[in-house]
Structure 1
Amino acid sequence: MNAVDLLAFGAHPDDVEIGAGGILAKHVKQGYRVAICNLTEAELSSNGTVERRRVEARRAAEILGVEQIIDLSFPDRGLGEREQINRMAQVIRQCKPRIVLAPYFEDRHPDHVACSRMAKEAIFDAGIRKKKTPGDEEAHRVSQFFYYFINDVHQADVVVDISDVYEQKVESILAYQSQFNPTEGEVSTPLNSPTYLAMVRGRDQLWGHQIGALYGEALKSPAPLKMTSLIQP
């Protein structure tokens, strides 16, 4: 694995794109190195196949400019084991990110909730010098950790202006055709409901409006944000 500036965890392929795709595209555009780590291959999804989802995930990453995708292949709806957290801590140590993103811990999908908790534990463990990971990598401390939102809207601590990359975000989500564009014989899900993508766009417009921009993506911090001055340069 290559070292990155920003590492985003998702329980399933498409989680990161929905909640933080614009943030990733924005940072790539600014010259930062970005990686996505998917915990599962979403093998229990109502539509599509694992093989198709892999292709879609790589197409979505290409659209966002993300060069590194890490697939841990944990079991879908089987998250939370200590060994899994150790593996995530190993990924953090190998990638050495300054910033880590994970889903917010209040969400309708239990896997998103589990991913949130596991990421927080993995970040903590990755910084413990005497804590062993599978490859015995050196400890690494993450500078900042933020939660992103997938299915819901909550009060934000940070809103990032993603207006200039918003259509990249939309295109990356639509790369998951198996999830958002059902064909004959596939079943209806919350994701392929006509209102889901409209909800995402409306939510991003709402957050954008709060900061005087067209579109924004919101983040929640588990700890107070450090400021050296209320007046920024």
Structure 2
Amino acid sequence: MKQQIDILAIGAHADDVEIGMGGTIAKWIHRGKQVVICDLTEAELSSNGTPNLRKEEAQHAAKILGVGKRINLRFPDRGITGSHEQIKAVVRVIRQYRPRVIFAPYHIDRHPDHGHTSRLVREAVFSSGIHRFQTGEEDQAHIATLNYYMINGIHTPHFVVDISNERDQKMDSLLAYKSQFRPDNGVITPLTDGYTDAVMARDRLFGKEVGVQFAEGFMTTKPVVIDHDLLGEK
């Protein structure tokens, strides 16, 4: 069943979207926007937790942010290849939900899956707008704007979103992934060593740059049209 939503946020693993734009999602949902999260893999190769536990944590995190729909395409973890079949699968999602804006991980990232996802989504967004691109289903071409959120690393953003009021909500969504960030019994990974604090420190840094407490940074594929926000209006 086709829908018309505002935002489709795509990540390689459950928790990617929350890390990069959890506060922005919460902000837009507060404003009545419809958001769908799409995880590409079940993160079955993660050092801590299990796929089933990760699914439970992902649904809990989505609920904290107010997201009503979260799907998983079950691509193999470390197997995001950008194959024609994977492109078609993402195109089907885009054409089903028909979002106005799509978000994917920024391609410069220490985790190869995030870079592969970035390139795969860009391919899918382009292909989705081609009327003769076939997915095996009766779907119609759909064009959407593509932007990128950051997972690992700090890059000079093209634009930021003030999440000062959503800071706690974002942190709660991250802490829903206890198996990843604060496991009771598990191996030490970069995620278990103050990772969530580092994420919020980055948001604080971006916020400081624009005179607010916390902000999330984004990269664009084309210039952003400014209507009234340049004047500081809400």
**Hey, what's the Cα distance between the residues in 2 that align with 1:67 and 1:217?**
22
What is the aligned partner in structure 1 of residue 18 from structure 2? Answer: 17
Offset, 1:122 = 0.5
List gaps (5 residues or longer) in structure 1: none
Q: Is this contact kept in 2: 1:90–1:134, CA < 8 A?
A: no
Unmatched tracts of structure 2, length 5 or more: none
**Match for residue 120 of structure 1?**
122
1:29 maps to a residue whose letter is: H
Give the TM-score normalised by structure 2.
Answer: 0.95
Identity %: 47
Distance 1:105 1:150 in 2: 10
Shift of 1:230: 9.2
- Worse-superposed segment, 63-72 or 80-89: 80-89
Give me the whole-angstrom Cα distance separating, in 1, the residues matched to 2:229 and 2:71.
Answer: 38
* Count of residues paired in the alignment: 230
Which residue of structure 2 aligns with residue 192 of structure 1? Answer: 192
Structure 2: how far apart are the matches of 1:76 and 1:231?
41
Query: What is the distance in 2 between the residues matched to 1:228 and 1:207?
Result: 22
CA offsets, 1:139-188, max 9 Å, x none?
A: 0110x21110001110111100011111010000000010011223x100
Listed as ranges, the matches of 1:1-233 within 5 Å are 2-80=3-81, 81-142=83-144, 144-184=145-185, 186-194=186-194, 196-227=195-226, 232=231
8 A Cα contact 1:18 1:200, kept in partner: yes
* Structure 2 letter corresponding to 1:49: T
Shift of 1:3: 3.0
- Alpha-carbon shift at residue 227 of structure 1 (Å): 4.0
SS at match of 1:20: helix
Task: Give the conservation status (yes or no) of the 8 Å contact 1:102–1:119.
Answer: yes
Q: Report the AA paired with residue 23 of structure 1.
A: T
Worse-superposed segment, 133-142 or 118-127: 133-142
Please give the secondary structure, in 1, of the residue aligned with 2:143: coil
Q: 1:140 to 1:180 in 2, by over 3 A?
A: same
Structure 1 length normalisation: TM-score?
Answer: 0.95
Q: Which amino acid aligns with 1:66?
A: V
Looking at structure 2, the residues matched to 156 and 55 of structure 1 have their Cα atoms a distance apart, in angstroms, of: 32
CA distance in 1, matches of 2:213, 2:226: 26
With over 3 angstroms needed to count, the CA separation of the structure-2 counterparts of 1:173 and 1:139, relative to structure 1, is same
Deviation at 1:226, TM superposition (A): 3.0
SS in 2 for 1:159: strand
* 1:87-118 Cα shifts (integer Å, max 9, x gaps): 10110000000010000000000000000001
